[in-house]
Amino acid sequence: MNIDLTDTTSGRINAALVRARRAMGSPAVGMVLTLVIVTDEGSHYDALKAASDASKEHPSRILVVVRRPGRSPRDRAMARLDAEVRVGGETGTGETVLLRLHGELASHAHSVVLPLLLPDAPVVVWWPADPPEYPSKDPLGALAQRRITDAAETEDPVAALRGRASSYAPGDTDLAWTRVTLWRSVLAAALDQKQARVTRAVVEGEEYNPSSELLALWLADRLGVPVERVLSGGPGITAVRLATEEGDVCLERGDGSLATLSVPGQPDRSVALHRRSTAELIAEELRRLDPDETYAGAVRFGLDHLVRGQVAEMEAAEAAQAEAARATGEEQAPPQIVVHPDKERMARATAARLITAIVDAQTARGRAHIALTGGRNGNALLAALAQAPGRDGVDWSRVDVWWGDERFLPDGDPDRNHTQAREALLDALPLEPSRVHPMPAGDGPHGDDVDAAAEAYAAELAAAAGEGGTGDGAPEGGGTGDGGTGAAVPAFDVLLLGLGPDTHVASLFPGHPAAEEAGRTVVGVRRAPKPPPTRISLTIPALRAAREVWLLAAGEDKAEAAAGALTAGDPARTPAAGARGRERTLWILDGQAAALLPESVRG
């Protein structure tokens, strides 16, 4: 039965519902909740169809709110309520009321809806599109125990998820989260069967797909490992890979319906993983009206903690280019450039990338050798690493920490790179003390003899290389270029360097004798052009023995140096030009530092 009401009131609508029920011989018992749908004229049909299908499982009173504020001042000044009451038929045992709020009344929907709510029954509010910024503070949202949004229906789904995180209140949920329920169930069951520690994860899905983002956030939150977000052609989520010490657990769905689950030591299995309709998603949300703490943890985890964006997109290209360089006989990898919008996101993304590199090194070789750098960008990276949830995915007892250079000052001096690194990160990590290798201090056993201190550090590096620290890392000649001294350095899995405004790296300054050193791995530096004048530094040959070299630069004062170093060829005049890894050389810049690079290079 359909009843049309024009220029009506909530009281008359209630009376019409009672009349319709009596005429149908169907009392209003059995309805379990009120579902309020806030939509527009063009979208209400699809939303109502989905809600009606869901109400077959959850008999409901459905109130569809269509706001029509009007365009002209005259239309906006009026206030009129039109309604269409539907009982029986397609509504089954439920009821539907289509409310059109005209003029000023469009701003007071809650006053119209409140008298129409079922007594003593929960209320759910659903915004199929264009939700309020703070759903829980919206007048209609404040009436509800459950508030449903859909980030996939917004212009910028990723930005919408950030908004959901900042505005979250108990009772909020999003259909982008509901869409990953089946993925979460299958992955959780697979990990229950395979009791192995997950070291990292990859989620592949379409660009701007909020469900892919939420699934990645859930994995990062629950597993405490770095999670990479990789773009694919879709549809939706296409694959999840969980790296374990026994092999990868893979769940791949290429066609949007049937997935393949691969678990180490078990035969592959086919899993039904179809893309569900909106009606199925709403029905799932109506089954549970208590706060979803798992969703809260995922959405508030922080999108910036994922390895994503340019990092994910460029990984394959970087590896291919490095392999091409090796195929042509080049000893060092050519520079690859990663540009982040600002220094904060640069630090967070690089921290996630570093965690991944450490885990990969430990998986491949049992331990990882990392060389740290100081300066504002190096310290910002360490601070971001201290806050990165994925840091718990690293076995820090199997990490050797080295330094690329040091200020020759007394131990504990606040200007020493070692002191700053301890404060920013190292003191908070469960490192094995014997694997932390600071450069000698100015008040150490060598006194003020910086050359003796440099020789001692070179010996420590050589000893670590002799213990197997080089793996396949040091080039012929022990990593000392053409020096022939027999000294060596470990093949650092990642060697971090900051870029100075004059293109210096470590404590190798343009035109300084240390920048021309070809025989030794470590040198004492005197009369450096910036304070303090006495330092210890790895040399260019030692830097080039690293598997990967990452140069960090942020700020407009680094733009000219970055542009110059990437086109220079003489390391003695431009030390940063000589800092290249054997497998990968990454220039990690923020937008300001990359400002003078050609657009083709920035890409």
What are 113-155's pLDDT values in tens digits? 999 999 999 999 999 999 999 999 999 999 999 999 999 999 8
Q: Are 550 and 494 within 8 A, CB to CB?
A: yes
- CATH fold of 181-303 reads Dihydrodipicolinate Reductase; domain 2 (3.30.360)
Going by pLDDT thresholds of 50, 70 and 90, the confidence category of residue 469 is low
- Partners of 553 in the β-ladder: 589
pLDDT at residue 91 greater than cutoff 70: no
Query: Strand order of the sheet with strand 548-553?
Result: 335-340, 584-590, 548-553, 494-498, 368-372, 399-403
Q: In this predicted structure, which of 39-43, 71-75, 298-302 has the lowest mean pLDDT?
A: 71-75
Q: Are 48 and 64 within 8 A, CB to CB?
A: yes
Q: What is the mean predicted confidence (pLDDT) over 266-290?
A: 91
Residues 6+ apart with CB under 8 A from 485: 478, 519, 520
Task: Specify the 3-state DSSP secondary structure of 341.
Answer: coil
Per mean pLDDT, which of 303-312, 335-344, 466-475 is the most reliable? 335-344
Compute the radius of gyration of the chain from its Cα atoms.
31
Tell me how far apart the alpha carbons of residues 325 and 323 are, in angstroms, rounded to a whole number.
5
Question: In the chain, what is the straight-line distance between the N-terminal and C-terminal CA atoms, in Å?
Answer: 61
Q: Are 411 and 445 within 8 A, CB to CB?
A: no
- CATH fold of 337-596 reads Rossmann fold (3.40.50)
Report the pLDDT value the prediction gives residue 471, as an integer from 0 to 100.
43
Going by pLDDT thresholds of 50, 70 and 90, the confidence category of residue 92 is low
Give the single-character DSSP code of 466.
I
Task: Specify the 3-state DSSP secondary structure of 77.
Answer: helix
Tell me how far apart the alpha carbons of residues 491 and 469 are, in angstroms, rounded to a whole number.
6
Angle at 41 between CA 36 and CA 43, to 5 degrees: 70
Report the pLDDT value the prediction gives residue 570, as an integer from 0 to 100.
83
Task: Tell me the HSE value of 396 on the side-chain side, using a 13 A CA sphere.
Answer: 15
Which residue, 124, 215, 217, is CA-closest to 173? 124
Task: Tell me the HSE value of 163 on the side-chain side, using a 13 A CA sphere.
Answer: 19
Q: Are strands 123-126 and 95-103 parallel, antiparallel or unpaired?
A: unpaired
Query: Strand order of the sheet with strand 522-525?
Result: 405-407, 535-538, 522-525
Query: Strand order of the sheet with strand 269-272?
Result: 227-231, 198-205, 237-244, 247-252, 258-262, 269-272
Q: What share of the chain in percent tops pLDDT 70?
A: 90
Report the pLDDT value the prediction gives residue 26, as an integer from 0 to 100.
64
Q: What is the mean predicted confidence (pLDDT) over 72-84?
A: 85
Tell me how far apart the alpha carbons of residues 30 and 28 are, in angstroms, rounded to a whole number.
7
Q: In this predicted structure, which of 61-70, 318-327, 479-488 has the lowest mean pLDDT?
A: 479-488
Report the pLDDT value the prediction gives residue 439, as an integer from 0 to 100.
97
Domain ranges in the chain? 2-149, 181-303, 337-596
Q: Are 586 and 548 within 8 A, CB to CB?
A: yes
200-217 pLDDT per residue, tens: 899 999 888 999 999 999
Sign (positive/negative) of CA torsion 305, 308, 310, 311? Answer: positive
Q: What is the mean predicted confidence (pLDDT) over 571-595?
A: 93
Q: Are 59 and 93 within 8 A, CB to CB?
A: yes
Tell me how far apart the alpha carbons of residues 428 and 196 are, in angstroms, rounded to a whole number.
26
pLDDT at residue 105 greater than cutoff 50: yes
Residue position matching structure tokens 């300066």: 375
Tell me how far apart the alpha carbons of residues 76 and 106 are, in angstroms, rounded to a whole number.
9
pLDDT at residue 222 greater than cutoff 80: yes
Per mean pLDDT, which of 66-80, 536-550, 559-573 is the most reliable? 536-550
Residue 293 CB-density burial (10 A; 0-12 exposed, 13-18 middle, 19+ buried): exposed
- pLDDT averaged over the chain? 87
